[in-house]
Structure 1
């Protein structure tokens, strides 16, 4: 339980985010949040109007953690850096994946983030239509990779290698030659990390978007 300091919206949202990080968004309730803050649940409604408002505020707060593309930077390195920042944020707050763009009343940090990304594409020579395509494709890759990574049964390269060793021992190479090949020649190689695949895919997406822009 948190110390009894003055309650405000920022403190309510911060505590809710910490609870969601620790236990998952599905287990976050107003009652549990009140207990954590040392107040009755009804007191929370002085700072958030309802559970929906709480979630909107939480999403806006995590959007504020994302590093915005600097206006003066070239579009590709700026969006590459921003994409890495989004992925880092999702690793801290995996519950946010799937909720990031679900709100009908986005907060100022969310709007500022979206506007800056759109502006970065536009300054990079993308048409309005191509900007819409590019933003959609880029974030689909980031969110999709984060979701896939979260579902993996290992957290490190060492754990992945240990699991791959077990799989390889029970994997008939004559029946599954390509799985055996990938496991032995890639996953089990020194320095392997599934997280490293993110950079390869991100650069592939950005290069593809650049080609699409130039071909428009």
Structure 2
């Protein structure tokens, strides 16, 4: 192991090596542990050496996101659009399970990275090749939201809103205070109703595998129906 580590330290520094080392550091210790100094230490170089490959931490984070998105399976050739979309989204979800810091990192960017844009462009291309109009594809992408990238923003997920690391253990659901539950009884019963699979959660909260696929299939079935009906926003019911 020591010889392997020494070999890695002697490997010439490159942008790809820097980005992959940063991803590994975030996977192991959480995104909040990432700094140019810590990354340089892992790579066995001085911090200034990193700036030849990434100009600042924002560029580093963008590159890390693109490394992660690059792990999503490519589209299956000659397959129906619905199957392609479902399989790629579930592949994206598996990728995010390996990199639990990535959803919040993606959400934090003011602009989509080139890797994210390429993935989204490919998914839109799948819809268009499947016979979707530009109008329907536009609305479908809005409806899918972050789910197209393998995660969902949940109503009852306080930990994501607080920005906690994906390395933190999920907390069990807690009952709302009695006065709140009495005022909002339906919210209270829903918040406590489901039993969740902790092993399949991306981050924390209600986003378990069953619920994710349940919502994904609802969306895809509805989208398929609209596409078959030749739906257009100009002819939608008022």
Q: Please report the TM-score for the alignment, with normalisation by the length of structure 1.
A: 0.74
1:200 to 199, 207, 214: 214
- Displacement of 1:115 in angstroms is 2.0
**In structure 2, the residue corresponding to 1:99 is in which secondary structure?**
helix
- Displacement of 1:15 in angstroms is 0.8
Structure 1's consecutive aligned runs of 4 or more residues displaced over 6 angstroms after TM superposition are 146-150, 177-184
Number of residue pairs aligned between Structure 1 and Structure 2: 201
Deviation readout 1:161-210 (Å, 9 max, x if unpaired): xx68x98xxx9xxx9x98789979x749xxxx942222211100111222
1:116 to 118, 122, 132: 122
Kept after mapping to 2: 8 A contact 1:68/1:113: no
Alignment of 1:5 onto 2:10: yes
Q: 1:144 & 1:89 partners in 2: Cα distance?
A: 14
User: In the alignment, which residue of structure 1 is the partner of 2:202?
Assistant: none
Kept after mapping to 1: 8 A contact 2:40/2:50: yes
Mark the runs of 5 or more structure 2 residues left unpaired by the alignment.
Answer: 161-169, 197-205, 233-238
**In structure 2, the residue corresponding to 1:70 is in which secondary structure?**
coil
RMSD: 3.7
Kept after mapping to 2: 8 A contact 1:145/1:198: no
- Displacement of 1:121 in angstroms is 0.7
User: In the alignment, which residue of structure 1 is the partner of 2:93?
Assistant: 87
2:82 to 76, 83, 99: 76
Kept after mapping to 2: 8 A contact 1:87/1:146: no
User: In the alignment, which residue of structure 1 is the partner of 2:22?
Assistant: 16
Query: Relative to 1, partners in 2 of residues 1:133 and 1:84: Cα closer, same or farther, differing over 3 Å?
Result: same
Query: Relative to 1, partners in 2 of residues 1:146 and 1:41: Cα closer, same or farther, differing over 3 Å?
Result: farther
Kept after mapping to 1: 8 A contact 2:152/2:212: no
Q: 1:146 & 1:16 partners in 2: Cα distance?
A: 28
Q: 2:24 & 2:217 partners in 1: Cα distance?
A: 32
Alignment of 1:38-49 (within 5 A): 38-49=44-55
